[in-house]
Amino acid sequence: MGRSVLKIQRADPAEIKKMLTANEAFTVGIRLFIVYLVALGHSSRKLSEIHNISFKQITNWVHRFENEGIEGLKDRKGRGRRSILSDKDMQKIKTIILTEKPEKYGFKSDRWTGPLLRELIRLKYGVCYQKAQIYNLLRKIGLRFEKKKGLVEAD
């Protein structure tokens, strides 16, 4: 008889990964552990395959750790593409979400959702966001989505 395989039923892999990346200390800990494995002599290419992280990223972490210590393993602010929408546009969108109904803009819904917001931004500003990016935009303006309430101010 073969060995039984451990199964996780509490959460799926995506949920577990989200938990790991939700806390900066976990993120830094994982990166530090990878650097530790490199220090023990493990191949960064092999670690790349095992942990599904690019070889270049592991190399960057090692170099940043060498130059800056643990601080070098923290995410840096201000990275990535700049928003096409201005801060004024973002505040206007937030005001619309919190004070106006989607029906006012021709939508057949009584509350805002990510897809509706995506369509509003496309119509009003001519900017097409990917589905996942709408939720990043909401977080940036201090809102979050709740299944029963729709879009609400973040705590």
- Residue 36: burial class (beta carbons within 10 Å; 0-12, 13-18, 19+): exposed
Asked if residues 118 and 134 have their Cβ atoms less than 8 Å apart, the reply is yes
Confidence (pLDDT) at 91: 92
Residue 95 identity:
T
Predicted structure pTM score: 0.49
**3 state DSSP class of 139:** helix
Which of 60, 105, 65, 103 shows the shortest CA–CA distance to 79? 60
pLDDT in tens, 57-113: 999 999 999 999 999 999 887 666 777 888 899 999 999 988 999 999 999 988 888
pLDDT in tens, 106-151: 999 888 888 898 999 999 999 888 888 888 888 888 887 777 766 6
